[in-house]
């Protein structure tokens, strides 16, 4: 029986267990969307291709599955670039399918032609230009395997219109052909043994944990290791939730806007155990003074990440879950009372804090109240900026895949569509999008998608009338010269805007209104709710490590 290329593609997606697909139709993918018309895949029509990409990304982060998005050729495909790059920087498994002009027109500057394999090469783990529909079954299987194994990442399939419409007779060979791709799994036994010996000999160890532990599903092994060895745990932004922040061993987040006690602990430790983290510049600060007295163990599935930014004494290449499982029996129980007391003293002396009171709504207080209103059980999705850091600091995460944010690329406009994707993937969870007046407007059109599907997402808009993080730097380092960061005089009425889309809008201007607004929002079901919190315009994120400084040289903001 003959099948068209579009049907082969849909069948291949079903074989991979795809339940949700995010995208926007166009001329080059019309034959594919025709096949999707009756397919048992829930296709979510978005209002912009970037929104589709971020939805697939948020879906992947919340569920651990591969997210899938579709766009047409030319501008549709290029609109996916930011979303693909966002996924690439954060190692998120994504398959992006883009339409392309007919094969005989490629390279002729045809209408809506863009060289997507060339454009996407630096921001994908792999990409394909399909020339024959007979290859589609194999290519889809390979794409999902590549996207989800090793260090995950996005894979792009560029699909010419004539290939989608091509009719193919007979069986399709779907056997993968990846002779050069062998992702690491278990680590070298000798290196694991060396790591255990270093941990057992250490007096002041710290576990520095990133999103790779969440990706590998190794949260339980990590928690067991920390508790068995009494090892304090600090996480990157991407690692929030991998270790309960309510646990006494938690140091919370480290780095530029991390806690004082996390940064002090890393600076004074004698052993730093990095698992699934890549020593990003926002973490290390002045690299010559990062963990200066520590021996460093680095566990990572990506061998190119080891030794790239910092010297490593004991490299262990492989999957975090497999390595932690092998490491656990070799690690001895250890009290480490003196080290833990020192950290406890830093926690008492330098807690996260801000100036409370007054007649302005404090953004930190909104996040604290959000934590209480959701009982710490929500999936929190953020955009990028000050609100992102407050959400990281003042909401206590206890489970993996409950804090979703653009860490590596820092993409404003990520929050709302990613929150929509997360809500589709986890309908059992309350999804809260924490955003700002700058970020929200970059993909506000996806409010229509949320309303159309009656998604109960809650949007906490911390509206300070500025591009807040840039304004903070202008205040602290550029003599308060607020060059083009003031937004308030051009901002819309966000409550009316939400209502225009069919959502519920709630205005909050007084501190005493915060708790009530959140209580009302959480009670509303089957409708998006936007809470417009008018917050203190010049509130800053502290602690803060100035650019070029060591991570123990922090501004507290409390002078």
Question: Which CATH number does the domain housing residue 442 bear?
Answer: 3.40.50.970
What tokens appear for 315 in the block? 């490299």
206 and 79 in a common domain: no
375 and 344 in a common domain: no
150 and 88 in a common domain: yes
336 and 207 in a common domain: yes
217 and 163 in a common domain: no
Q: For residue range 320-367, list pLDDT tens digits in order.
A: 999 999 999 999 999 999 999 999 999 999 999 999 989 999 999 999
310 and 426 in a common domain: no
Q: Residue 17's domain spans which residues?
A: 3-168
- Residue 300 included in any domain: yes
* Rounded average pLDDT over 66-85: 98
423 and 342 in a common domain: no
Q: For residue range 443-486, list pLDDT tens digits in order.
A: 999 999 999 999 999 999 999 999 999 999 999 999 999 999 99
Average pLDDT over the chain reads 96
Please tell me whether residue 71 adopts helix, strand or coil conformation: strand
* Rounded average pLDDT over 281-288: 94
The pLDDT score that the predictor gives to residue 1 is 75
Residue 545 reports pLDDT greater than 70: yes
Domain endpoint, select from 319, 349, 379: 349
Chain-centroid distance, C-alpha 198: 32
Q: For residue range 475-514, list pLDDT tens digits in order.
A: 999 999 999 999 999 999 999 999 999 999 999 999 999 9
DSSP 206-263: EEEE-HHHHHTT-HHHHHHHHHHHT--EEE-STTTTSS-TTSTTEEEE-STTS-HHHH
* Rounded average pLDDT over 141-155: 97
453 and 324 in a common domain: no
Cβ(388)–Cβ(434) under 8 Å? yes
What tokens appear for 295 in the block? 């021996």
Residue 230 reports pLDDT greater than 70: yes
Count CB-CB contacts under 10 A for residue 46. Answer: 27
Q: For residue range 290-321, list pLDDT tens digits in order.
A: 999 999 999 999 999 999 999 999 999 999 99
Residue 559 reports pLDDT greater than 60: no
Q: For residue range 359-406, list pLDDT tens digits in order.
A: 999 999 999 999 999 999 999 999 999 999 999 999 999 999 999 999
345 and 200 in a common domain: yes
- Residue 540 included in any domain: no
The pLDDT score that the predictor gives to residue 557 is 78
Question: Which CATH number does the domain housing residue 343 bear?
Answer: 3.40.50.1220
Residue 145, C-beta contacts closer than 8 angstroms, at least 6 positions apart: 176, 178
Please tell me whether residue 534 adopts helix, strand or coil conformation: strand
- Which 8-state DSSP code applies to residue 404? E
- Residue 443 included in any domain: yes
Position 83 confidence tier, pLDDT thresholds 50, 70, 90: very high
What tokens appear for 224 in the block? 């067991």
389 and 300 in a common domain: no
DSSP 491-504: ---HHHHHHHHT-E
Strands (E), 240-367: 250-253, 271-275, 295-300, 314-317
Q: Which helix (H) or strand (E) holds 191?
A: helix 189-201
Strands (E), 367-481: 379-382, 403-404, 431-436, 458-463
Q: Which helix (H) or strand (E) holds 559?
A: none
The pLDDT score that the predictor gives to residue 558 is 67
Query: In terms of residues, how long is the chain?
Result: 559
- Residue 547 included in any domain: no
- Residue 178 included in any domain: no
What tokens appear for 405 in the block? 């944010």
- Residue 541 included in any domain: no
Residue 3 reports pLDDT greater than 90: yes
- Residue 232 included in any domain: yes
Least confident of 158-162, 183-187, 295-299, 437-441: 183-187
* Rounded average pLDDT over 2-29: 96
Q: For residue range 29-68, list pLDDT tens digits in order.
A: 999 999 999 999 999 999 999 999 999 999 999 999 999 9
The pLDDT score that the predictor gives to residue 542 is 97
Count how many domains the chain has.
3
Count CB-CB contacts under 10 A for residue 373. Answer: 20
210 and 100 in a common domain: no
413 and 501 in a common domain: yes
Residue 28 reports pLDDT greater than 60: yes
* Cα 527 to Cα 456: distance, rounded to the nearest angstrom: 5
- Residue 233 included in any domain: yes
The pLDDT score that the predictor gives to residue 174 is 87
């Amino acid at each position: 029986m003959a099948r068209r290329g579009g049907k082969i593609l849909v069948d291949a997606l079903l074989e991979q267990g795809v339940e949700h697909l995010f995208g926007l139709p166009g001329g080059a993918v019309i034959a594919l969307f025709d096949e999707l018309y009756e397919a048992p895949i829930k296709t979510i029509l978005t209002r912009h291709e970037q929104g589709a990409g971020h939805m697939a990304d948020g879906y992947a982060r919340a569920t651990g599955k591969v997210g899938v998005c579709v766009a047409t050729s030319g501008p549709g495909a290029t609109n996916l670039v930011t979303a693909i790059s966002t996924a690439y920087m954060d190692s998120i498994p994504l398959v992006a399918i883009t339409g392309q002009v007919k094969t005989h027109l490629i390279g002729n500057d045809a209408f809506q032609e863009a060289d997507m394999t060339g454009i996407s090469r630096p921001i994908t783990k792999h990409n394909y230009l399909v020339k024959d529909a007979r290859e589609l079954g194999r290519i889809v299987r390979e794409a999902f395997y590549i996207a989800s194994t090793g260090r995950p990442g996005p894979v792009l399939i560029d699909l010419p219109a004539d290939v989608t419409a091509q009719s193919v007779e007979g069986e399709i060979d779907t056997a993968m052909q990846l002779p050069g791709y062998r992702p690491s799994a278990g680590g070298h036994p000798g290196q694991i043994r060396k790591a255990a010996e270093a941990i057992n000999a250490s007096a002041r160890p710290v576990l520095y944990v990133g999103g790779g532990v969440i990706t590998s599903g190794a949260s339980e092994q990590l928690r067991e290791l920390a508790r068995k060895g009494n090892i304090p745990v600090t996480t990157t932004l991407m690692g929030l939730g991998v270790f309960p922040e309510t646990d006494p061993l938690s140091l919370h987040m480290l780095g530029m806007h991390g806690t004082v006690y996390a940064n002090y602990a890393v600076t004074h430790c004698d052993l730093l155990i990095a698992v699934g983290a890549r020593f990003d510049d926002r973490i290390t600060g002045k690299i010559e003074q990062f963990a200066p007295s520590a021996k460093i163990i680095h566990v990572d599935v990506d061998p190119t990440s080891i030794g790239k930014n910092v010297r490593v004494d004991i490299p262990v290449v492989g999957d975090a879950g497999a390595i932690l499982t092998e490491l656990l029996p070799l690690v001895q129980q250890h009290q480490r009372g003196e080290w833990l007391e020192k950290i406890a003293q830093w926690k008492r002396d330098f807690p996260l804090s801000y100036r409370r009171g007054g007649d302005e709504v404090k953004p930190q207080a909104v996040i604290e109240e959000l934590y209480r209103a959701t009982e710490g059980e929500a999936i929190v999705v953020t955009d990028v900026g000050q609100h992102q850091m407050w959400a990281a600091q003042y909401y206590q995460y206890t489970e993996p895949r409950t804090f979703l944010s653009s860490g590596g690329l820092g993409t404003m406009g990520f929050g709302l569509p990613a929150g929509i994707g997360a809500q589709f993937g986890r309908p059992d969870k309350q999804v809260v999008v924490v955003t700002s007046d700058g970020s929200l407007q970059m993909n506000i059109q996806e409010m229509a998608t949320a309303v159309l599907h009656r998604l109960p997402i809650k949007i906490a808009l911390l509206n300070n009338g500025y591009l807040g993080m840039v304004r903070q730097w202008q205040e602290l380092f550029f003599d308060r010269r607020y060059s083009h960061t003031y937004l308030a005089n051009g901002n819309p009425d966000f409550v009316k805007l939400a209502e225009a889309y069919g959502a519920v809008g709630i205005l909050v201007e007084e501190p005493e209104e915060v708790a009530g607004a959140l209580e009302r929002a959480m009670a509303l079901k089957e409708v998006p709710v936007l809470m417009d919190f008018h917050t203190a315009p010049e509130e800053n994120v502290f602690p803060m490590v100035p650019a070029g400084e060591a991570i123990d040289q922090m501004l507290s903001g409390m002078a």
